Amino acid sequence: KAGVTQTPRYLIKTRGQQVTLSCSPISGHRSVSWYQQTPGQGLQFLFEYFSETQRNKGNFPGRFSGRQFSNSRSEMNVSTLELGDSALYLCASSWTPGLAANEQFFGPGTRLTVL
């Protein structure tokens, strides 16, 4: 069974631009969550989607948004990019919703660099 896939793997953007990242979960998984990892802050939770609905959201500004499609694939969008948005963005999938007590299967990540 294929793992979680993320595209693109690397991305370079300039300040003020917007970016869309994609995540395809493991087949049959309906829950997708997104995370940001930076050297300073470590891993931080962005949001969680299940059945096309956002269930939970971390403490990030409104420039960060996401959605989930009927096939469980998910996208996240960052508008008006800032230098501080440079990070590794990871998505993870699981069978059921609930970050607290469900094993998460992580994708390889998208490394975003904002110049």
CB of 102 to another protein, least distance (A): 8
Residue numbers at the binding site for another protein (CB under 8 A): 33, 37, 42-45, 56, 58, 88, 90, 92, 98-106, 108-109, 111
70/100 with CB nearer another protein: 100
Give the 3-state secondary structure of residue 70: coil
CB of 14 to another protein, least distance (A): 23
5/71 with CB nearer another protein: 5
Nearest to 68 by CA among 56, 51, 55: 51
39/70 with CB nearer another protein: 39
CA angle 6–7–13, rounded 5-degree value: 125
Contact 45, 58 (CB under 8 A): yes
81/97 with CB nearer another protein: 97
The residues, ordered by sequence, that sit 6+ positions from 89 with a Cβ below 8 Å of its Cβ are 6, 21, 34, 35, 36, 37, 46, 76, 109, 110, 111, 112
CB of 59 to another protein, least distance (A): 9
